[in-house]
Amino acid sequence: DYEAEHPQFPDVPESEQVPEQGSVPLEAGISQPSHRQQSDSGPAADPADQELLPVPQAAPSPEPPDPQTCSPREYLEYHIFPVLLPGLAELLHEAEKENCFEGRRTKFIASDFLTEWLYNKNPKRKNESFTELFSIPFVKDWLKDHPRPPTPLSLLLSEEEASIIIQSFWRGYRVRCDSKIQELRQWQKKLREEKHINKVVKAFWTKQEVK
How far apart are the C-alpha atoms of 4 and 181, rounded to whole Å?
Answer: 101
Average pLDDT over residues 144-149: 90
Measured N-to-C along each axis, helices 159-176 and 179-195 cross at an angle, to the nearest 10 degrees, of 80
Measured N-to-C along each axis, helices 81-97 and 110-120 cross at an angle, to the nearest 10 degrees, of 130
Burial class of residue 202 (count of CB atoms within 10 Å of its CB; 0-12, 13-18, 19+): exposed
Q: Among 47-61, 106-120, 158-172, 184-198, which is the least confidently predicted range?
A: 47-61
Please enumerate in sequence order all residues whose Cβ is within 8 A of that of 65, keeping only pairs 6 or more positions apart, or say none: 74, 75, 78
CB 116: neighbour CB atoms within 10 A? Answer: 19
Backbone angles phi, psi at 181, to 5 degrees: -65, -40
Q: Best-predicted range by mean pLDDT among 28-42, 59-73, 126-140?
A: 126-140
| Residue that wins the pLDDT comparison between 162 and 194 | 162
Which pTM value belongs to this model?
0.48
pLDDT bracket for residue 50 (50, 70, 90): very low
